[in-house]
């Protein structure tokens, strides 16, 4: 095992999208690639942490030294997070689908030729971050992410309180499209905002992990 500033710390990370089935062949998803979350898992492992990475459906290799749990849906991710506790730090990078089908069909929904369009009724998924932040097994440092297309800092500041997180790491997905190689992170906490310049997702991960080790040292 690597010795570093996070040796002896358990860091729990969620990454990637979730897939919410509509029927056996269709699902609701989003454009998350998982790259930023996987880069953070890799950086935390390089800093000596014991890392559990709960990954939605992505096509990325597991970073060296990281324990990976693959899930598909938000409810599976929620259960996997719970099962991985306790942790010293939780970093919720996953782009969890906000809604899932209220009535997942057990057989493929067919066009019946009448031109009638089937309705898609949605229900809300569990908010994994908010649930964890309020739980009695809350890790001492809980970090959420916010992917926004507008008013990034205002939304991030509101999210800090609404989710009960210690930090919200915001990024602008209008200028940095999901799936890209670079990111510009804004770390929002009770003590203010630190805006990092645009850099690769690996460099952004290293910078974030440095701030985490400084905060919990
Ligand atoms: O509310 P919003 O989806 O923008 O919040 C984003 C943050 O909340 C991210 O850290 C994400 O991983 C987390 N989240 C979650 N469970 C949800 C929705 C979001 O953990 N159902």
What is the whole-number distance in angstroms between the Cα of residue 110 and the centre of ligand 1? 33
Distance CA 71, CA 51 (A): 16
Distance CA 45, CA 62 (A): 11
Q: What share of the chain has pLDDT > 90, as a percent?
A: 87
Does the pLDDT value for residue 85 go beyond 80? yes
**Is the C-beta atom of 13 inside 6 A of ligand 1?**
no
What is the whole-number distance in angstroms between the Cα of residue 126 and the centre of ligand 1? 9
Distance CA 86, CA 130 (A): 16
Does the pLDDT value for residue 66 go beyond 80? yes
List the structure tokens of 59: 């096509």
Would you state the pLDDT for residue 89? 98
List the structure tokens of 62: 């597991």
Tokens 């030729």 sit on residue: 113
- Return the residue whose CA atom lies nearest to atom 2 of ligand 1: 146
Would you state the pLDDT for residue 202? 95
* From 71, 128, 131, 134, mutation site for ligand 1 pocket: most ligand atoms within 8 A of C-beta: 128
Q: Give Cβ neighbours of residue 174 (< 8 Å, ≥ 6 apart).
A: 148, 149, 150
Mean pLDDT of 20-30: 97
pLDDT band (50, 70, 90) for residue 100: very high
Would you state the pLDDT for residue 190? 92
Does the pLDDT value for residue 102 go beyond 90? yes
Contact criterion met (CB below 8 Å) for 78 and 126: yes
pLDDT band (50, 70, 90) for residue 149: confident
pLDDT band (50, 70, 90) for residue 112: confident
- Paired with 193 in beta bridges are 188
**Is the C-beta atom of 17 inside 6 A of ligand 1?**
no
Does the pLDDT value for residue 174 go beyond 90? no
Would you state the pLDDT for residue 28? 97
**pTM, to two decimals:** 0.95
Annotated active-site residue 30? The verdict is yes
**Is the C-beta atom of 128 inside 6 A of ligand 1?**
yes
What is the whole-number distance in angstroms between the Cα of residue 199 and the centre of ligand 1? 23
């Amino acid at each position: 095992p690597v010795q570093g500033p996070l040796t002896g710390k358990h860091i729990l990370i969620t990454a990637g999208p979730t897939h919410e089935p509509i029927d056996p062949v269709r699902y609701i998803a989003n454009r998350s690639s998982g790259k930023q979350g996987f880069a953070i898992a890799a950086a935390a492992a390089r800093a000596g942490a014991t890392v559990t990475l709960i990954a939605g459906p992505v096509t990325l290799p597991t970073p060296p030294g990281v324990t990976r749990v693959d899930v598909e849906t938000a409810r599976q991710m929620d259960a996997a997070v719970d099962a991985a506790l306790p942790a010293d730090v939780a970093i919720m990078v996953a782009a969890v689908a906000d809604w899932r089908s209220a009535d997942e069909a057990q057989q493929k929904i067919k066009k019946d030729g009448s031109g009638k369009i089937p309705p898609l009724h949605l229900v809300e998924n569990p908010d994994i971050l908010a649930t964890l932040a309020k739980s009695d097994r809350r890790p001492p440092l809980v970090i959420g992410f916010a992917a926004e297309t507008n008013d990034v800092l205002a939304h991030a500041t509101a999210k800090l309180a609404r989710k009960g997180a210690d930090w919200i790491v915001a990024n602008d997905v209008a200028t940095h499209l999901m799936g890209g190689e670079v990111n510009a992170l804004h770390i929002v906490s009770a003590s203010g905002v630190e805006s990092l310049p645009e850099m690769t997702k690996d460099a952004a991960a290293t910078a974030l992990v440095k701030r985490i080790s400084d905060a919990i040292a």
